[in-house]
Amino acid sequence: MKKIFLIVLLVSFVGANAQNLTFENKFARPLSEVLTDIQARFHIRLKYDVDTVGKILPYADFRIRPYSAEESLTNVLSPFDYKFVKQEGNLYKIRNYEYARRTSEDGQKALIYLKSLYSDKESWEKRRANLRKEVRARLGLDSLLNKRVNAKPILSKIRKFDGYTVQNFALETLPGLYVCGSIYTPNSKGKHALIICPNGHFGGGRYREDQQQRMGTLARMGAICVDYDLFGWGESALQVGSAAHRSSAAHVIQAMNGLSILDYMLSSRKDIDKSRVGVNGGSGGGTQTVLLTALDQRFTAAAPVVSLSSHFDGGCPCESGMPVTMACGGTNNAELAAMFAPRPMLVVSDGKDWTSSVPELEFPYLQYVFGFYGAVDKVTNVHLPKEGHDFGLNKRNAVYDFFISAFSLDKTKLDEKRVTIEPEEAMYSFGKDGILLPATAIRSFDKLAVYFDKGRFSVLQSNISLEKKTTDWVSFLNLEDKKKISFVTTLVYNHLRSVREWHNEHPYSTVPEGINPLNGKPLSQLDREMIADSAMPKEVHTKLMNGLRKALTEEQVEAILDKYTVGKVAFTLAGYHAIVPDLTEKEEAFILENLKLAREQAIDYKSMKQISAVFEIYKNKCEEYLNNNGRSWRQLFKDYVNKVKAEKAAKAAQKR
Ligand code: ZN
């Protein structure tokens, strides 16, 4: 009970400090109120992807611009690192700041700025040389490339199909780390073009039907095509786990994989025409396509599909995990693509994602740079305004036409129906469940720590361990609905991450040393830690609980909370039953209610010590209740200890 008072007292003191003293006389108002006013004043609607609960905005009304809803929103949201995204009609979405995603207006300004940096081939090539160096350095690629093993890949049996063959490979890059993929080879004799095909994030990975269709069709027409798993996807997940994909390590490892496959193909295969080396991928695979062309000059034709943008770097850590767009004072994927001039490039864009601006922004910009070489016709754009973000037939046809022209492929062989769609397992290098994975293969993301900066890697690792924990907890529920699994997993992961981040950013030392007013003793480190952590914004908790209750049954919600608190409710209740053998129903109900309250409060604390301390507060309350109910907790506990001792002694005597 004393601890509750202490915490309540100190938290309210700290809270009062933050809100009243800091913002007094600063015309502060709750953010949610200000946003409601903005909706009424400008006749707009707001949809929230962020929590505004408890957020106080200083100089609130002074930030409003009576002539502009958007300027007002910018001024009001920016202190919280929120932004707005305009939707259809008068609707605006309020979101967290996203460093990799900007607006098309930003993209336009960026391209005007970039164009001002060069006006001819000479000034452009200076910039390009600097970009080449700095993108590479910011990616941290060379330290990895220098540690490669250059082993021969493990190759599967060759499977023969109509006009082409497929062979799986597993190429060891760093010691014990493999990149797996498939090589599609034309049946025709002579030297072939080569097309490296990095994969994007479409469901089904590189095994999916439209991917096999594209690989097979290009092969039938005369190009050797190589596709390979994303880091942490497909067979790579057997080695590092799927959570590893959402680490910035994925950005550099995937670049290394693409270049390693290119090295291997060009050095070992005698049937490749080195003057025809292409790269082609969609979405995240398109981002990699552009990056690979910026890193390596052996490519002679490139086709990024539904990815290229001056205002979106790619939303996955494998695309924007390393700060490559900070190169040379700031760049973007459109400028990185322009580095490919004057070699042939196709940009495929659509009307329903961030590439919708390509015809107006990125394509004219690319033409500007290609123009320095008198090669405006070497860059082409196929824009599909009615289509969305996929690698559908029209996009594949655009890619076929482009490579037919760039690499003189045999158009008469263009027929997707002749391609055999193989089952996923046929495309594995290491068999089902990785049964053939070599004994020397690494089997944990941690093993890659030696290749990365210590401080950064510890954050990566910690995120991955949180993700693993979350996945384990959620899988315990045996949910079948994939959407629900992903919703709950993200919800719990974000909560755990917020708790960790708050804890790390608010160490106990931020709470002043002080005296516990109730017992006169100095505050312990744990007391101060708990005071600091208890000041975490309430919406972190409510967001989790509301989300869980929306998606799950109450029983399932409780199961997740039990995972957070390692089953302390059941364990502690069993303890009460042992100590108070004649516990009444009413007493049990009181205890259970309080233990559940403890559980829900404890999930917002990071360490087991803290979680136990929260339970301790409620246990004191339960014991006080038992005392008030005519029992003596002290005596009950003493009796229990004596009973346990006596039982032990009896057992020991029996053994003798
Ligand atoms: Zn990714």
Centre of ligand 1 from the C-alpha of residue 245, in Å: 6
Q: What residues have their beta carbon closer than 5 A to ion ligand 1?
A: 284, 316, 318
* Average pLDDT, rounded, for the chain: 93
What integer pLDDT is reported at residue 24 of this predicted model? 55
Which residues contact residue 652 at a Cβ distance below 8 angstroms, ignoring those fewer than 6 apart? none
Q: Specify whether the CB–CB gap between 193 and 407 falls below 8 A.
A: yes
Q: What one-letter code names the amino acid at 481?
A: D
389-409 mean pLDDT:
98
Centre of ligand 1 from the C-alpha of residue 275, in Å: 30
What integer pLDDT is reported at residue 52 of this predicted model? 82
Conformational region of residue 512, where left means phi above 0, alpha means psi within -120 to 50, and beta covers everything else: beta
Question: What pTM was estimated for this model as a whole?
Answer: 0.79
Of 198, 382, 363, whose CA–CA distance to 295 is shortest? 198
What integer pLDDT is reported at residue 54 of this predicted model? 77
Centre of ligand 1 from the C-alpha of residue 318, in Å: 4
Residue 64 to residue 362: CA distance in whole angstroms = 34
Centre of ligand 1 from the C-alpha of residue 436, in Å: 26
**Over the stretch 377-390, which tens digit does the pLDDT of each residue have?**
999 999 999 999 99
Centre of ligand 1 from the C-alpha of residue 459, in Å: 18
What integer pLDDT is reported at residue 460 of this predicted model? 78
Centre of ligand 1 from the C-alpha of residue 288, in Å: 10
Q: What one-letter code names the amino acid at 454?
A: K
What integer pLDDT is reported at residue 517 of this predicted model? 73
Centre of ligand 1 from the C-alpha of residue 77, in Å: 29
Q: Specify whether the CB–CB gap between 568 and 595 falls below 8 A.
A: yes
What integer pLDDT is reported at residue 25 of this predicted model? 64
Centre of ligand 1 from the C-alpha of residue 213, in Å: 22
250 pLDDT higher than 50? yes
181 pLDDT higher than 90? yes
Helix, strand or coil for residue 345?
Answer: strand
- In this predicted structure, which of 39-48, 238-247, 360-369, 617-626 has the lowest mean pLDDT? 238-247
Residue 472 to residue 464: CA distance in whole angstroms = 12
Centre of ligand 1 from the C-alpha of residue 248, in Å: 9
Centre of ligand 1 from the C-alpha of residue 309, in Å: 16
Q: What one-letter code names the amino acid at 513?
A: E
Distances (CA, A) of 538 to 278, 345, 601, 648: 52, 51, 11, 47
* The 3-state secondary structure of 414-446, one letter per residue: CCHHHCCCCCHHHHCCCCHHHCCCCCCCCCCHH
Centre of ligand 1 from the C-alpha of residue 229, in Å: 11
